[in-house]
């Protein structure tokens, strides 16, 4: 196991009706004025936004709102939010929604006290030294942003989708997680969230670090829980316990717990971010296409842990032919994604003729000559993986 530090200060408030505590939780953070950030309208339609506003009014906390954050959020809303916070002397941000809303809130939080362009943080021109506090009310288990220290934003100019990592400053101070709020999710969004949380675990699980039994077992166990609960939720969208288990799996998958002490990979995420930047597809659906392709390629080049994944997570019988065991595991994962209604090829994702040369060029321009760590991938390798995703 490798040395590590792990600072995970988010206060999780989990369960039925917990959003009623929002006003009180914000009061404890000494907020002068709050910016509420939300998405394209689901929280308006469900009445959640209105209920949250009432809890703030009850605590006499002034607030203003910025809505219309789109999936795969872009920079204009971040600039708008930064201006609003400065103008109205806001010192606390409340995100109500999923990864896109939370990531926009985090980017605003980092941008407000900074003199330059917030995008400097994403291109590693500047480091975040200070940020406003962010609280979250989660409405979709998927990106794991409620517990992560990351923000992922697309710059419209050049369609650059990049991530900022500042766990000491950008992890939300609290995350309110009521599984009932996820009942209204369309089946496809639920499925995309499941693919994303599984990917967050797999990015950590496929590591070259040896003797990481605790990380391996946490990853395998959480993956198995997701697979079980996902099958229930797809049939019974209002099954509270299945929704609850899935919601917590999404947080565990990405708040760092599963990966401490391990070298992590993240090549599949980088490859997917290029797809969602260029074609504006849902992140989880992009991953259900790319991850099986990455695993197929890895079964050929670095088989051992893929075979372990097949045996332990998918119950593939042990055999001396490790490659065939590994490929059976990949097939099981693909079939699982298909059973959830997810795409596993570019075509199924709605991209008939992906511009693979452009994806590869942008990927290596943004992320360097080599990406990932389980096997470091150069341009020839990533091109092969994108091509596998066409089959």
Contact residues: Zn ion, CB under 5 A: 196
Q: How far is the CB of 286 from Zn ion (least distance, A)?
A: 9
CA angle, 327 then 252 then 26, to 5° = 150
Q: How far is the CB of 170 from ligand NZQ (least distance, A)?
A: 9
Q: Indicate the residue whose CB is closest to Zn ion.
A: 196
Q: How far is the CB of 324 from Zn ion (least distance, A)?
A: 29
Site for ligand NZQ in 45-84 (CB under 6 A): 71-72
Site for ligand NZQ in 12-51 (CB under 6 A): 39-43
Q: How far is the CB of 17 from Zn ion (least distance, A)?
A: 29
In the numeric block, which tokens belong to residue 382?
């990533």
The smaller minimum CB distance to Zn ion, of residues 55 and 104, is found at: 104
42 binds, among Zn ion, ligand NZQ, none (CB under 5 to 8 A by kind): ligand NZQ
The smaller minimum CB distance to Zn ion, of residues 38 and 291, is found at: 291
Size of the site for ligand NZQ (CB under 6 A): 34
Q: How far is the CB of 183 from ligand NZQ (least distance, A)?
A: 7
233 binds, among ligand NZQ, Zn ion, none (CB under 5 to 8 A by kind): none
93 binds, among ligand NZQ, Zn ion, none (CB under 5 to 8 A by kind): none
The smaller minimum CB distance to ligand NZQ, of residues 42 and 257, is found at: 42
Site for ligand NZQ in 140-179 (CB under 6 A): 140, 142-145, 148, 150-152
Q: Position of tokens 């075979």?
A: 307
**Contacts of 214 by beta carbon, 8 Å cutoff, 6+ apart:** 261
The smaller minimum CB distance to ligand NZQ, of residues 295 and 326, is found at: 295
The smaller minimum CB distance to ligand NZQ, of residues 182 and 222, is found at: 182
Instruction: Pick the stretch among 95-103, 114-122, 317-325, 368-376 that binds ligand NZQ (CB under 6 A).
Output: 95-103
Tell me if 259 contacts ligand NZQ by CB under 6 A: no
Judge contact between 184 and 48, C-beta under 8 A.
no
Q: How far is the CB of 63 from ligand NZQ (least distance, A)?
A: 18
Residue from 133, 171, 243, 283 touching ligand NZQ (CB under 6 A): that is 283
Q: What is the 3-state secondary structure (H, E, C) of the chain?
A: CCCCCCCCCCEEEECCCHHHHHHHHHHCCCCCCEEEEECCCHHHHCCHHHHHHHHHHHCCCCEEEECCCCCCCEHHHHHHHHHHHHHCCCCEEEEEECHHHHHHHHHHHHHCCCCCCCHHHHCCCCCCCCCCEEEEEECCCCCCCCCCCEEEEEECCCCEEEEEECHHHHCCCEEEECHHHHCCCCHHHHHHHHHHHHHHHHHHHCCCCCCCHHHHHHHHHHHHHHHHHHHHHHHCCCCHHHHHHHHHHHHHHHCCCCCCCCCCCCHHHHHHHHHHHHHCCCHHHHHHHHHHHHHHHHHHHCCHHHHHHHHHHHCCCCCCCHHHHHHHHHHHHHHHHHHCCCCCCCCCCCCCCCCHHHHHHHHHHHHCCCECCCCCECHHHHHHHHHHCCC
In the numeric block, which tokens belong to residue 270?
């980088």
Distances (CA, A) of 60 to 55, 65, 90: 9, 16, 15
139 binds, among ligand NZQ, Zn ion, none (CB under 5 to 8 A by kind): ligand NZQ
Taking residues 177 to 216 in sequence order and writing x for each that binds ligand NZQ by CB under 6 A, - otherwise, the string is: ----xx-xx---x---x--x--------------------
The smaller minimum CB distance to Zn ion, of residues 114 and 188, is found at: 188
The smaller minimum CB distance to ligand NZQ, of residues 33 and 155, is found at: 155
Q: Which spans of this chain sit near ligand NZQ (rule: CB under 6 A)?
A: 39-43, 71-72, 97-101, 103, 139-140, 142-145, 148, 150-152, 181-182, 184-185, 189, 193, 196, 254, 269, 283-284
């Amino acid at each position: 196991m490798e040395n590590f530090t792990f600072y995970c200060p988010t206060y999780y408030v989990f369960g039925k009706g917990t959003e009623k505590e929002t006003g009180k939780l914000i009061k404890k953070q000494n907020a002068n004025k709050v910016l509420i950030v939300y998405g394209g309208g689901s929280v308006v339609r469900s009445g959640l936004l209105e209920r949250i506003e009432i809890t703030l009014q009850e605590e006499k906390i002034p607030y203003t709102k910025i809505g219309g954050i789109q999936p795969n959020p872009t920079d204009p809303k971040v600039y708008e939010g930064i201006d609003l916070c400065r103008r109205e002397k806001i010192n606390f941000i409340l995100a109500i929604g999923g990864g896109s809303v939370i990531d926009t809130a985090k980017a605003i939080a980092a941008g407000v006290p900074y003199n330059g362009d917030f995008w400097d943080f994403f291109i590693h021109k500047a480091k975040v030294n200070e940020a406003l506090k962010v609280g979250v009310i989660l409405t979709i288990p998927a990106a794991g942003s409620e517990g992560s220290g990351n923000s992922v934003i697309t710059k419209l100019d050049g369609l650059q989708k990049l991530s900022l990592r500042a766990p000491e400053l950008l992890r939300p101070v609290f995350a309110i997680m009521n599984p009932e709020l996820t009942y209204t999710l369309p089946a496809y969004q639920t499925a995309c969230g499941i693919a994303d949380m599984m990917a967050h675990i797999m990015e950590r699980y496929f590591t070259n670090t040896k003797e990481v039994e605790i990380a391996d077992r946490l990853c395998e166990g959480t993956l198995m829980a997701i697979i079980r609960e996902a099958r229930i939720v797809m049939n019974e969208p209002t099954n509270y316990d299945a929704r609850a288990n899935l919601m917590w799996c999404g947080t565990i998958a990405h708040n760092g717990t599963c990966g401490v002490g391990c070298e992590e990979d993240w090549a599949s995420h980088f490859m997917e971010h290029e797809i969602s930047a260029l074609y504006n597809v849902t992140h989880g659906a992009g991953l259900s296409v790319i991850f099986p392709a990455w695993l197929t390629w890895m079964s050929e080049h670095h088989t051992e842990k893929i075979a372990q994944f097949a045996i332990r997570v998918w119950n593939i019988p042990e055999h001396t032919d490790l490659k065939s065991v590994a490929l059976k595991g990949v097939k099981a994962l693909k079939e699982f994604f298909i059973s959830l209604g997810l795409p596993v090829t570019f075509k199924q994702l709605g991209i008939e003729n992906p511009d693979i040369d452009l994806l590869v060029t942008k990927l290596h321009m943004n992320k360097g000559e080599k990406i990932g760590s389980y096997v470091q991938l150069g341009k020839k390798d990533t091109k092969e993986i994108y091509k596998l995703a066409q089959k």
